[in-house]
Structure 1
Amino acid sequence: MSVKKRAVIISLLVSLMLMLAKFLAYFITGSNAILTDAAESIVNIIASSFAFYSIYLSTQPKDENHPYGHGKVEFFSAFVEGVLILIAGVIIILKSSYNLIYPSKVSELLVGTLIIGVTGLINMIVGLYLLNVGKNEHSVTLQADGRHLLTDTYTSFGIVIGLILIQLTNIIWLDSLISIIVGFYIIYTGYKLTRKSVGGLMDESDLTLVEEVVDILQKNRHIPWIDVHNLRTQQYGPEFHIDCHVTLPYYFDLNKVHKEISQIDELVNSGFRKSELFIHADPCLPKCCNYCKMIDCPVRFEPFKAEIVWTSELVIKNQKHFANDLF
C-alpha cells in the first residue's frame, strides 16, 4: 500500500471514531456548539472517502485518453471537500441562529468539554501528519484533507473555550453565538480551499513553483543558455509539467541543441521534483549579443554588456529579453 493511501485510510478511520465521540458529546449535553463540531466531522468522513478514491485514480498510469495522467482528479477532490465545508458552515449558522432566538437547554458541559478537547487534539495530530505526507508526496488531496482537519482542530478548541465560558457565566445563549462564529470561520476555510482547487483545475500558474525552477536555472546556468522566457508550470497530481523557450546560438546544430536541452531537463529533475519538461529552442538574434556570454562566438554583432538575471517576473513573459530594454 502506498504512503498516500495509508495516510488517507488513517484519516478516514480517525474521522469516523471522532464523529461518533462528538455526537455522543452532543447527546449528553444538547449543546449547539458541540453539534457544530459533530456535523463538520460528517464532512470529514465524506471528504476522506472521496480523497481515497481520487488518490487511487491519480496513481493510475497514463493512457490514450489521459496522456497527462489522472492527477487532475486531486484538484476536483479538493473542490468537493471545499464545497462540503461551505455547505456545513451555512447549515451550522442557520441552525445556531434559530437557537440563538429560541435557546435550548444544555447540561453536562464538563463531560462534553473534555470529549471535544480530546478529539481536537487527535485531529491536530492527524492533520499535521496528512500535511507532512501531502507535501512530501506533492498531493493536493492530502494537503486539503490535512488543512481541513486542522480547521476542525481550531474550531474544537474554540468551542472548548466557549463551553468553559458558559460554565463560568451560566449564559446559555453563548452556546449558539459561539456556534455561529465557528460557522463563519468554516465558510471562510471552505472558500479558500475551493478557490485553490478551482485555480488548479483552470491551470492557474503556481508562482512558487516558477520561482523554484527559475532559481535552479539561474544558479546553474550554462553560457550557451542565452535567455529563458515563456516559462509555465502545471501540476497533475504528484507530477509537474514545465514548458519554456530557451534561446541558444543560432549556429548550433541539432545534436548540440538536443544536448543543451537535455542538460536543462536533467538539472531541473535533479534539483526540483518529478517533472516533465517541454522545451522549445529559439535561435538567438543580433539584439541578444549584448547579454550573451559566448566569448568565442564567431558571429557576434555587439559587445557583451551585462548578464540578465532571470527572475520569475521576467521568465514568464512570452518574449525574448533584450538588454536595451532592461539595462
Structure 2
Amino acid sequence: MDRTPPPTYKAAMQLFAKTAVPEVRAARLSLAVAVVLLAVKMWAYVLTDSAAILSDALESIINVVAAAFAVLSVSVAAKPADARHPYGHGNIEYYAAWFEGMLILFAAAAIFWECFDKIANPQPLPRLGAGIGLLTAASGVNLWLGLKLLRQGKRSGSLTLEADGRHVLTDVYTSVGVLLGLGLVWATGWLWLDGLVACLVGANIAWTGIALVRQSVSGFMNESDPALLAGICDLLRERRHPSWIDIHRLRAIKSGRAVHVDLHLILPRDMTLAEAHEQVDAMEKLLLAHLGPDADVMIHADPCDPPCCPVCDANPCELRQSACTETPLWSPDNTGDPVRGD
C-alpha cells in the first residue's frame, strides 16, 4: 500500500507547527504551575493538619496528572490528518477529558474518606494562619492560570485546554470555600467545620468529574452538537443560493479542533454536471470559511423530484409540477431526515 503523504501534507504540517505552539505552551505552563502549587498546598497541609487543606491538595495532585496528560493530548490532537488517520487525531482529547474526569472522581472519594473521620474526631489545627496565607496565594495564581487556559482553549477549539481550564477554576472555587471554612474555624474554634468543609469540597469536585466524564462519553459516541448544527443551518439559510432547493441528511460532529460535516444538497434536475459541481463547491467554501481550516466537508448532490416543487422558486422550470408555496426554513429539526429528493 502506498503511504506517501499527499502533496498538501507538508503544508498542513507547517500550519500545525504554527498553530499548535501556543496550545502546547499553555499546556506546559499549566503543568509547571500545577507542580508548584501542589508543593505549596502540601506545605500548608503539613503546617496545619487540616482535612480541608488536604482536600484542596489532593485536587492539585489531579491537576498535575491532568496537566501532564493535556500536554500530550494537545500535541497529538493538533497534528493534521494522515494516511493512517484520515479523520485527524482530535479524538484523543476526549480520552484526556475522560481520564481527567475519572481522576477527579477518585480524588473526591479520597476526600470523603478523610473528612468523615475529621467530623467524627476533630483535631486541633496548628499554625492555621500560615496555612491560610499559603492557600490564598495559591488561589490567586490558579485564578490567573484558569482564565488563561479557558481563553486559549476557546480560541483554538481545544477541548483538553478548556477542560483543564475549567478544572483549574474549580480548584479556585474549592480553595475559596476552604478559606472561608478555615476562617470560621479560626474565628469560632469549631474544629468539626474543618471536616465539613472537606466534605463540601469533595461533593463539588465530584460534580465536576461527572460532567467531564459525561462530555467525553458524548464525544466517544459522536453525539450531535445542537449549537453546531444550528450555526450551520443559520449560515446556509442566510446565504442560500437560488439553486439550492433544499438540504437534508445534515450531520456534523466535532473531533478535537476539527469539525466533520456531511449533507445532501438538492439541486435542479436539469443542471449539468459542471453546474452542479460549481454549486457544491460554493457551499463547501462557505462552510469552510465559517468552520475554519480544520473542517472536513462532504456534500452529496441530489436531483430534485416533484415533492421538492413547493420549496423551489426556480422560474421558468419545464419540470415543475406544482407551484412554489414556501421558503425552506432550515433548522436542526428538519434537515437531519431523508425527506425530499431521495
TM-score (norm 2): 0.91
Gaps of 5+ in 1: 323-327
C-alpha displacement of 1:296: 2.3
RMSD (Å) for aligned C-alpha atoms:
1.4
CA distance in 2, matches of 1:99, 1:169: 17
Letter in 1 for 2:246: D
The partner residue of 1:127 within 106, 127, 146 is: 146
1:256 correspondence with 2:290: no
Q: How many residues align?
A: 322
The answer on whether the counterparts of 2:302 and 2:341 sit within 8 Å (CA) in structure 1 is no
Q: 1:11 is matched with which residue?
A: 30
Could you say which residue in structure 2 is the equivalent of 1:81? 100
- SS of the equivalent of 2:334 reads helix
Equivalent position amino acid for 2:332 in 1? S
What is the alpha-carbon distance in structure 1 between the residues aligned to residue 160 and residue 27 of structure 2? Answer: 9
Secondary structure of 1:125's aligned partner: helix
Correspondence 1:53-92 to 2 at 5 A: 53-92=72-111
Match runs of 1:95-244 below 5 Å: 95-244=114-263
In the TM superposition, residue 62 of structure 1 has moved relative to its aligned partner by 2.2
Q: Deviations over 1:288-317 (max 9, x none)?
A: 111111122221111111102111211123
Does residue 301 of structure 1 match 2:335? no
| CA drift at 1:268 | 1.1
Aligned residues of 2:248 and 2:263 also touching (Cα < 8 A): yes
For residues 319 and 178 of structure 1, the distance between their equivalents in structure 2, rounded to whole angstroms, comes to 56
Q: Give the distance between the partners of 1:297 and 1:136, measured in 2 at CA.
A: 46
Cα distance between partner residues in 1 of 2:177 and 2:29:
25
Matches within 5 A, 1:29-68: 29-68=48-87
**Structure 2 residues without counterparts, runs of 5 or longer:** 1-19
Distance apart, 1:321 and its partner CA: 8.6
Cα deviation, 1:27-80, whole Å, max 9, x if unaligned, reads 111111001101110100000101111111112332332111111001111110
The aligned residue for residue 325 of structure 1 is: none
Q: Answer with 237-246 or 189-198: which moved more.
A: 237-246
* Structure 2 counterpart of 1:312, one-letter code: P
- 1:315 maps to a residue whose letter is T
SS of the residue corresponding to residue 300 of structure 2 reads strand
What's the CA shift for 1:104?
2.5
Work out the CA distance in 1 between the residues paired with 2:84 and 2:206.
36
Determine which of 15, 18, 21 is the counterpart of 1:2: 21
Equivalent pair of 1:212/1:272 in contact (CA under 8 Å): no
Which segments of structure 1 move beyond 6 Å, counting only runs of 4 or more?
none
Output the CA distance in 2 between the equivalents of 1:255 and 1:218: 23
CA distance in 2, matches of 1:215, 1:113: 51
1:277 aligns with 2:297: yes
